């Protein structure tokens, strides 16, 4: 009768595995969707779209893709017109 006990053990294990699996599957696809939904904004200097969290802002609130473009825009405004 030990063979029948092993068979019952495997059937019960399979039922438990089947019950737990859909719950684990539902949790995975919902998390990456939140990361994708981030606002994008265009750089004032070059017009490239960058996530707003990675952008550099000047005193006037203008947004740049990097510190280099912010300083380029500053020097352009400071330079006397030729």
Q: Answer whether 58's CB lies under 8 Å from 70's CB.
A: yes
Secondary structure letter of residue 53 according to DSSP: G
Tell me if residue 29 falls in helix, strand or coil.
Answer: coil
Span of 1-9, 18-26, 51-59, 64-72 interacting with Zn ion by CB under 5 A: 64-72
Closest CB to Zn ion among residues 11, 46:
46
CB of 28 to Zn ion, least distance (A): 36
Contact between 70 and Zn ion per CB under 5 A: no
CB of 79 to Zn ion, least distance (A): 19
**Number of amino acids touching Zn ion (CB under 5 A):** 5
Contact between 55 and Zn ion per CB under 5 A: no
Which positions ≥6 away from 62 have C-beta within 8 Å? 44, 73
Q: Answer whether 28's CB lies under 8 Å from 40's CB.
A: no
Looking up tokens 């969707």 gives 33
- Residues near Zn ion (CB under 5 A): 43, 45-46, 65, 69
């Amino acid at each position: 009768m030990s063979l029948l006990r092993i068979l019952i053990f495997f059937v019960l294990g399979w039922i438990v595995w089947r019950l737990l699996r859909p719950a684990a599957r539902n949790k995975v696809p919902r998390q990456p969707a939140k990361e994708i939904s981030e606002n994008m904004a265009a750089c004032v200097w070059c017009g490239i779209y960058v996530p707003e969290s990675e952008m550099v802002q000047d005193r006037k609130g203008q947004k740049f893709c990097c510190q280099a473009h912010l300083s380029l825009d500053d020097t352009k405004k400071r330079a006397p017109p030729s």
